[in-house]
Amino acid sequence: MAIAVLGTGVLLVSSCDKKFTEINPLNNLKEENAFSTAKNIDLTLNGMYWHAGVGYYNPGTGLVAGRGYPFGGASIEQGEMRGEDMVNLQAFYEITYLGNYTVTTANNVNHWEQLYQLINQANVIVDGLNGAVQKGVITKAIADPYEGEALFVRALAHHELLIHYSRPYADNNGSNMGIPYRTKGVTNGTLANEGLSVDRGTVASCYALLLSDLDKAETLLPNSQSNAALSISRATKGAAIALKTRIKLHMGDYPGVIDEGKKLGTDATNGSFTSAIGGYKLEANPVTPFVNFKANTESIFSVAQSLNSNGGVNGAITSMFSPSGLDGRDLIATSPNLYNASFWLSGDRRKTDLQYRQSVGTRQFVYNKKYTRYGINDDWNPILRYAEVLLNVAEAYAYQGNTAQALALLNAVRNRSVPAGAEFTQAPSDLKLAIYQERRIEFTGEGKRWSDVHRLALNSQYGTGGIPAKVRPAQLTGGLSIYDGSTILTPSYGAIAYSDHRFVWPLPTSEMDANPTLRAQQNPNY
């Protein structure tokens, strides 16, 4: 039985004060009770978000534990390890880093299975809400925002699958194989055929379904939740719109990106950007969204974690990204090739305040310092920030020839961090390149590098042409001394060309064994 298809969607958690931001999983409600009361329905939504951040991990030994799939620390780290801006130091994600994955390797298999488990939970919620309304358990007015949350999560999860298991939209205008876009919940009381009958479709057809889900979610979701923390940790109207700017950027739909961005205030002409929906604006200090992760004006959607509910020492984002000198695990370091890049200025606050130079132990390198709840492991996983919306729209304006607005959006993100006098007073000679470089700095440690590598792979001017060449840990022989602002290492692990089958991950054996529909739709050469 493939977990990806058949896992029950009713995983529920309870909380002493009914706030997901302080979740403490105590029990699983029975499927038949999940939609029997308004309280249980709210718990069902909490369970969906809990699974997004904690999930489980099956290493193939029969042991199962929370490990930060599909949108916890594991997801964020994999997004970095598929790129070149961080260096894998240990065996934890070496398979992902070196591209040695197979149909049974745990990192990619668990990602697939957990994303579809999450999708199934979202689908069960949509179905259950309809039944609850029909039975008079809740009104449609109460059900609608819940449905919007489920649709948002469903779209987010399907897109994550697309960037790992399918070719980018730019390849033949989305005509390659997509991923099964599942919209019907499979529970213990329904037939497996509900999920097994869905084939991969095309990338283009999947993107159309993504936008359909998000368009509907936008109409159903509120501008904000009941408090600041819930407005970040649960989906809102602004989150649906922000995700659409990302989706349309992957499609190369620049007018569409601009139109969605306008809803969030990116068309302001005074260089000061604030969204009427959600009240989003950049924090003056780039550190604030990570220190005040439960209440800030910049975070649009994050996956919450708590002391009692996180991916554990092996999967919480804090321990995975942090150095041993700060009670972390020394798993991944910032690559000196990014840290020393000429476009990352020495006085940039993201370098001085969000990077950590470890001078103790055996791995004296530079590490990401966005997640600082050391030993507590309750840092939230940032999924959508207003900074991304601004840079998404800046890129779209640049491609549409509106240099002034593109520069204004870029400067809004960049100028709060760079030293005084280093601001762009006019557009750099290659504005698009400057925007791409800014993304690498602004989002390092947030798992977004692979997303950009994937969508730009076929861009002859700005793309990498495949999986970039990477620095091996053995090359960091100089320790901290190589983070000198000038050293650029020649990566000893070569690039993997876009044409190579390893650019995309294989569908796992667990799916192939249980799903006759997908057996003939495996990615080539796996």
Query: What is the residue-wise DSSP string for 93-118?
Result: GHHHHHT---TT-HHHHHHHHHHHHH
- Would residue 12 count as lying in a domain? yes
Give dist(CA 145, CA 143) in Å, integer: 6
Grade residue 336 by pLDDT with cuts at 50, 70 and 90.
very high
Instruction: Report the pLDDT value the prediction gives residue 312, as an integer from 0 to 100.
Output: 85
For residue 17, give its domain range. 7-210+247-252+301-315+379-383+442-519
- Would residue 456 count as lying in a domain? yes
- Give the mean model confidence (pLDDT) for residues 40-46: 94
Mean of all residue pLDDT scores within the chain: 91
pLDDT in tens, 282-312: 999 999 999 999 999 999 999 999 998 888 8
- Would residue 446 count as lying in a domain? yes
- What residue type is assigned to position 172 of the chain? N
- CB atoms under 10 Å from CB of 149, counted, come to 26
Residues 6+ apart with CB under 8 A from 233: 20, 21, 49, 294, 301, 302, 303, 304, 380
Q: How many domains does the chain have?
A: 1
- Would residue 293 count as lying in a domain? no
DSSP state of 61: S
- CB atoms under 10 Å from CB of 192, counted, come to 14
Instruction: Report the pLDDT value the prediction gives residue 58, as an integer from 0 to 100.
Output: 66
- Would residue 219 count as lying in a domain? no
Closest residue by Cα to residue 116 from 158, 75, 178, 76: 158
pLDDT in tens, 462-471: 999 999 999 9
| H-only helix segments in 272-402 | 288-291, 317-321, 336-339, 349-352, 386-400
- What residue type is assigned to position 256 of the chain? G
The token pair at 386 is: 């207003």
Cβ–Cβ under 8 Å, residues 393 and 280? no
- Would residue 269 count as lying in a domain? no
Q: Is the dihedral of CA 244, 246, 249, 255 positive or negative?
A: positive
Per the DSSP assignment, residues forming a β-bridge with 177 are 202
Per the DSSP assignment, residues forming a β-bridge with 355 are 368
- What residue type is assigned to position 248 of the chain? K
E strand residue ranges, 102-197: none
pLDDT at 353 over 70: yes
Q: Which of 187-191, 265-269, 312-316 has the lowest mean pLDDT?
A: 187-191
Closest residue by Cα to residue 234 from 385, 46, 377, 371: 46
Give the CA-trace dihedral at 425, 427, 433, 438, to 10 degrees.
Answer: 30
Angle 78-82-86 from CA coordinates, rounded to 5°: 85
Lookup result for tokens 């960049």: 414
Measured in degrees and rounded to the nearest 5, phi and psi for residue 210 equal: -55, -50
- Would residue 116 count as lying in a domain? yes
Residue 199 sits in a domain whose CATH number is 1.25.40.390
- Would residue 73 count as lying in a domain? yes
Grade residue 195 by pLDDT with cuts at 50, 70 and 90.
low
